[in-house]
């Protein structure tokens, strides 16, 4: 999830577990059987940072490699953009800390996964293209 407040700050989590332990990431996780991707993003965001989302819309997808317990899984990571109903995010499940950052404060190279880095760079490009028109 790329969760964007009205002031333009974006929600990031510091991952508490591997893979990517200690790195910045976006709230997210796996889709449960029988669950839509949109509902999974809402559920995972609620479970990880305790906030509800509005205006959830699909943004992009990238293939990712997810190393876990000695195996590397090939995943298709779906990215959505949304607005938070509340700015009171807190670290919950699998999250060490949360922070609302200005886009200029976030380097793609510091994000936990290749797919996140690609989605973040794309979001920045598209956000800047919209602002310059």
Q: Average pLDDT for residues 35-46, to the nearest whole number? A: 96
Number of domains into which the chain is organized: 1
Q: Which two tokens stand for residue 125?
A: 């490009």
Rounded to two decimals, the pTM is: 0.91
As a whole number, mean pLDDT of residues 8-18 equals 95
Choose among 32, 35, 46: nearest CA to 1: 46
pLDDT class of 93 with cuts at 50, 70, 90: confident
CATH code, domain with 43: 3.90.79.10
How many CA atoms are closer than 13 Å to the CA of 102, on its beta-carbon side? 2
Q: Which two tokens stand for residue 38?
A: 């949109």
Q: Which residues form the domain of 30?
A: 2-132
**pLDDT tens digits, residue range 100-115?**
999 999 999 999 999 9
Q: Residue 12 in 3-state DSSP?
A: strand
Q: What percent of the chain has pLDDT over 90?
A: 87
Query: According to the model, what pLDDT value does residue 133 have?
Result: 46
Q: Is 32 helix (H, G, I), strand (E, B) or coil?
A: coil
* DSSP-assigned beta bridge partners for residue 25: 13
The number of residues making up the chain comes to 133
DSSP secondary structure string for all residues of 58-70:
EEEEEEEEEEETT
Helices (H) and strands (E) in the chain, counts: 2, 6
Give the pLDDT of residue 131: 54
pLDDT at 128: 75
Quote the pLDDT of residue 130: 59
Q: Average pLDDT of 21-29?
A: 95
């Amino acid at each position: 999830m790329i969760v964007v407040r009205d002031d333009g700050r974006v929600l990031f989590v510091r991952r508490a577990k591997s893979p990517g332990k200690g790195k910045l990431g976006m709230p997210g996780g796996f889709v449960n059987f029988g669950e839509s991707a949109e509902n999974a993003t809402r559920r995972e965001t609620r479970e990880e940072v305790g906030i509800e989302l509005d205006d959830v819309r699909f943004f992009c997808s990238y293939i990712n490699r997810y190393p876990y317990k000695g195996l590397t899984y090939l995943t298709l990571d779906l990215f959505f953009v949304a607005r938070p109903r509340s700015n009171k995010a807190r670290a919950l499940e699998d999250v060490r800390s949360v922070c609302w950052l200005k886009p200029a404060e976030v380097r793609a190279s510091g994000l936990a996964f290749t797919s996140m880095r690609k989605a973040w760079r794309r979001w920045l490009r598209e956000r800047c293209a919209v602002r310059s028109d």
